[in-house]
Structure 1
Amino acid sequence: MLCPCGSSALFTNCCQPFICKNPPAKQVTTAEQLMRSRFSAYAVKNGQYIYDTYAAAQQVNNSLTDIQSWAEECIWIALVIHNVVNDITENTVEFTAYYIVDNTLCELREKSNFAREQGQWRYIDGKIKLHNELSTINRNEICPCNDYPTAWSAKKGKKFKHCCGK
């Protein structure tokens, strides 16, 4: 299976080792890598990894139950990275995530802030720049994942009911 993060690498060689902590010493080395692995964790519905990669100050504001519910409610289909800044004063990743919830295709564009905490990259917070419902999906339409070159679940030419709408 291709990695949900859109890297074109296999999941087993890309984000899965971070999400599954296998090998245990494998850690993300950049803010972008953390962003990609967090998206992949949403796509494979691993709320624990998402929770664990919040900065400590943010973990108290986010429950594992809420994170897991959000991951399971949505079908995360594609991630597009727009801009990455890694310097002494700023570590940000601007991205758009495409997902389906209740047969509605949505886009979320955010500029996320990251920091190193106890030697590991952590998500601090983000500023949502855009959050739109793009369209309602009819089950007999071609699945919208086919419209995104970075979609990891695309089954080219399949109807929504046979692809992401299962």
Structure 2
Amino acid sequence: MFCPCGSNLHSNQCCERFINLAANKRVILPTTAEQLMRSRYCAYSLNNAEYIYQTYAKASQKQQSIADIEEWAQQCKWVKLTVYSQTNSTGNECTDDYDYVEFSAFYIQQDTLYEMREKSRFIQELNDDNQLAWRYLDGDIIKHQALTQIKRNDPCPCYQLNDNNGQQKSKKIKKYKHCCGR
């Protein structure tokens, strides 16, 4: 199965290795802010609120709760991630204290397809094992809008947006009611 982050890698070779090992208290850390952002998107799609909470910067964790994160993740069906850029505060390749990742996350909530475009800010902090780890600090939402109301017999947006998530196309496009609309 391909990773929900859209990398075209298998899940166990991509984001799930960070998420699963974190749950078992064994550590393989994302080496870039973009890897962390992709793994957080994947965790949302898997409803893994614990990982999302763990990857907030310490200053941001105080404003979050695992229950709130879990509630938000469960309300949505995450269908696509598009990464536009990764830069540091000077606009050069990422080498400073803060890295920025601009992306769009597409999700379905109550039969409506949404796009949320954000420029997220990441920082490196020492984790519990005294290793430097990327953490999500905050983000500026550039755009958050409903794109379309989805009817039961419409083609499923996950198929259209992801080109069937990198897998071979079937002969027939799935209808929303037989896919994400269940």
TM-score tier, shorter chain, comes to over 0.9
Per-residue deviation, 1:26:
1.1
- Kept in 1: contact 2:80–2:106 (CA 8 A): yes
- Kept in 2: contact 1:78–1:97 (CA 8 A): yes
What is the TM-score normalised by the length of structure 2? 0.86
Q: Among 50, 53, 65, which residue is 2:52 paired with?
A: 50
- Which residue pairs with 1:30 in the alignment? 32
- Kept in 2: contact 1:153–1:164 (CA 8 A): no
For 1:150 and 1:90, how far apart are their aligned partners in 2? 33
- Which residue pairs with 2:178 in the alignment? 162
For 1:62 and 1:102, how far apart are their aligned partners in 2? 24
1:61-92 residue CA offsets vs partner (Å, 9 max, x unmatched): 01110000000000000000001111325400
- Comparing 81-90 with 129-138, which one deviates more in the overlay? 81-90
Question: How many aligned positions are there?
Answer: 166
- Which residue pairs with 1:60 in the alignment? 62
- Which residue pairs with 1:107 in the alignment? 115
For 1:87 and 1:93, how far apart are their aligned partners in 2? 13
1:4-47 residue CA offsets vs partner (Å, 9 max, x unmatched): 00000011110101011168231110000000000000001101
SS at match of 1:35: helix
Q: Which runs of 5+ in 2 are unaligned?
A: 88-93, 127-131
SS at match of 2:162: coil
Per-residue deviation, 1:165:
1.1
Identity of aligned residues (%): 46
What is the TM-score normalised by the length of structure 1? 0.94
Letter in 2 for 1:161: K
- Comparing 23-32 with 77-86, which one deviates more in the overlay? 23-32
Q: How does 1:1-166 map to 2 (within 5 A)?
A: 1-21=1-21, 24-85=26-87, 86-88=94-96, 90-118=98-126, 119-149=132-162, 152=165, 157-166=173-182
- Kept in 1: contact 2:125–2:133 (CA 8 A): yes
The structure with the largest alpha-carbon Rg is: 2
- Kept in 1: contact 2:105–2:116 (CA 8 A): yes
For 1:54 and 1:25, how far apart are their aligned partners in 2? 16
Q: Which runs of 5+ in 1 are unaligned?
A: none
- Which residue pairs with 2:90 in the alignment? none
